[in-house]
Structure 1
Amino acid sequence: MPDTATPPDARHALRQLIRQRRKSLSQAEQQDAAQQLVARFKEHAGIRAARRIALYLANDGELDPLPAIHWLWAQQKEVYLPVLPPFTPGHLLFQRYTATSPMTRNRFGIPEPELDMQQVIPHSALDIICTPLVAFDAAGNRLGMGGGYYDRTLASWHEHGLGPRPLGLAHNCQQVEVVPKEQWDVPLPEIITPARSWDFS
C-alpha cells in the first residue's frame, strides 16, 4: 500500500511562509482586520445565538479577536480562553475570561488566565470554539501550529458531530490553494476572515 502521508517538510515550509506573511501585516492592517472581525461577528447568526464562546488571545501575527471579545462582553456573552493544564499535556482546558481575570503566560509565551478550576468548564458545554490557524484552503482544511491541541479538542465533533461548533479565524492572506492534510487533521465547517465568511458545512 503506498505511503500517502504528507512530507513533514511540506507542512513546515507552508507554516513558515504563512506565519511570515501574517507577521508582515502593519499595525494599521492588523487593527483594521480586528475591527472587520467585529463586523463579521455582529452579522453572524451563530455568534448572536451563542451564550458561551471560546476564543484566543492573538500571538505571532494572528488575527486579533480582542475587539470582538469586548463586543461579546457587551452582549452579555460568556467568553472562554484556552489554558494549557500542567496535568494533561497536549490538551486544552477552557476557562472563563473577564476584564479582571488574573493573567499569566504559558510555556509558549502566550497569555492565558491563571488556572482556576472553578472557572473551567468542559469544552462540550461551549457553543462555539473559535480556533486560530496558520493556513486554510477553500475546502475548510486547517493547518495549525503543529501541536495538535485543537485537533484533539475537536475530535469528538469531527467524528460524531458532538460538542461545540468550531469556527476558524484567519487573515485573508492566510488562504492557500491546498493545505497538505494528515489523517488527524480536523477540517473546519466554517472560517471567518476580515473579507468574508466561508461556510463549508
Structure 2
Amino acid sequence: MTELALLPRPQLRRLLRKARRALTAAEQRQAAKGLFRQLAQDPHFRRAKHISLYLPTDGEIDPRLLLREAQRRGKATYLPVLSAWPRTKMVFQRIRPGEKLKPNRFRILEPRANLARQRKIWTLDLVLLPLVGFDDVGGRLGMGGGFYDRSLAYLARRKNWRKPTLLGLAHECQKVERLAQASWDVPLQGTVTDKAWYFLD
C-alpha cells in the first residue's frame, strides 16, 4: 500500500477503517483465532503479569480470546477507561472475569471508574493497543483522539524504556508501506496481526 502512505492522515484513516469494517463476521472470528495463536504462547504474553487490552469496535481485530486466556492464567488484566475530567485523559483499570461494563461517550464498553483498581501505565508489563494503520518500523495511526498518545507521552522523553512493552494489534489490511510520524507519536515495539509479527529488535 505504498500509495496510501502518501495520503493525508484523515483520508488514510477513513480508507483503513473502511477496509477493516468490510471484513465479514466469519473473517473477524478467524482473525481473532489467528491473533490468539500468534500471541498466546509468545514470551511477551507468557511473562507479563499485568496486561492492558481493549474491547474491539469499528472493525478492530478482537483480542477477547487473549483477555480470557490471560485471566485463566491468573494474570491481572486492564482496560482503558476514559476520564470524566479531564475529558482528554485515559486511565487503565483492572477488570475481573464477568464484570459488568458500561458504554462510554464513544459507545465503547468499559468498567465503571474505580480509583482503587487503576494502575499507572508505566507499571504495566504489556500494553496491546488498537490501531487504524501501521507500518513495519513501529509506526501507528490511531483513531485521532490522541488518548494513547497522551498516556504514552512520557516515553517520548526517554531514549530507552523497559516497561511496558507496546504491541499494536491489527488486521493485515491495515498495513501501510510507511507512516509519516508526528512529533508526539511514540513508536510501537511491534505490531501483531492474525498472520504475522512485525517486531522491532
- State if a TM-score over 0.5 links the two structures: yes
Contact 2:136 2:199 in 1 (8 A): no
One of 138, 141, 144 as aligned partner of 1:143: 141
Q: Which residue of 2 aligns with 1:28?
A: 26
Contact 1:38 1:71 in 2 (8 A): no
Residue 77 of structure 1, CA deviation: 1.0
Looking at structure 1, the residues matched to 23 and 46 of structure 2 have their Cα atoms a distance apart, in angstroms, of: 29
Residue 178 of structure 1, CA deviation: 2.0
Residue 154 of structure 1, CA deviation: 1.6
Q: Which residue of 1 aligns with 2:54?
A: 56
Q: Which residue of 2 aligns with 1:166?
A: 166
Residue 42 of structure 1, CA deviation: 2.0
- The secondary structure found in structure 2 opposite 1:168 is strand
Looking at structure 2, the residues matched to 78 and 41 of structure 1 have their Cα atoms a distance apart, in angstroms, of: 17
Looking at structure 2, the residues matched to 182 and 121 of structure 1 have their Cα atoms a distance apart, in angstroms, of: 27
Contact 1:15 1:135 in 2 (8 A): yes
What is the count of residue pairs matched by the alignment?
Answer: 195
Q: Which amino acid aligns with 1:11?
A: R
Residue 102 of structure 1, CA deviation: 2.5
Instruction: Kindly indicate whether residue 191 of structure 2 is the aligned counterpart of residue 186 of structure 1.
Output: no
Residue 55 of structure 1, CA deviation: 0.4
- The secondary structure found in structure 2 opposite 1:191 is strand
Structure 1's consecutive aligned runs of 4 or more residues displaced over 4 angstroms after TM superposition are: none
Q: Which residue of 2 aligns with 1:176?
A: 176
Looking at structure 2, the residues matched to 29 and 158 of structure 1 have their Cα atoms a distance apart, in angstroms, of: 36
Residue 139 of structure 1, CA deviation: 1.5
Looking at structure 2, the residues matched to 137 and 21 of structure 1 have their Cα atoms a distance apart, in angstroms, of: 16
Q: Normalization by structure 2: what TM-score?
A: 0.92
Q: Normalization by structure 1: what TM-score?
A: 0.92
Contact 1:157 1:165 in 2 (8 A): no
Q: Which residue of 2 aligns with 1:3?
A: none
Deviates more, 1:13-22 or 1:148-157: 148-157
Q: Which amino acid aligns with 1:55?
A: L
Q: Which residue of 2 aligns with 1:124?
A: 122
Instruction: Kindly indicate whether residue 93 of structure 2 is the aligned counterpart of residue 95 of structure 1.
Output: yes
Q: Which amino acid aligns with 2:188?
A: L
Contact 2:171 2:194 in 1 (8 A): yes
Looking at structure 2, the residues matched to 16 and 180 of structure 1 have their Cα atoms a distance apart, in angstroms, of: 16
Residue 28 of structure 1, CA deviation: 0.7
Q: Which residue of 2 aligns with 1:14?
A: 12
Contact 1:154 1:166 in 2 (8 A): no
Looking at structure 2, the residues matched to 68 and 42 of structure 1 have their Cα atoms a distance apart, in angstroms, of: 7
| Amino-acid identity (%) | 39
Contact 2:136 2:190 in 1 (8 A): no
Q: Which runs of 5+ in 2 are unaligned?
A: 1-5
Q: Which amino acid aligns with 2:61?
A: L
Q: Which residue of 1 aligns with 2:3?
A: none
- The secondary structure found in structure 2 opposite 1:94 is strand
Q: Which runs of 5+ in 1 are unaligned?
A: 1-6
- The secondary structure found in structure 2 opposite 1:118 is helix
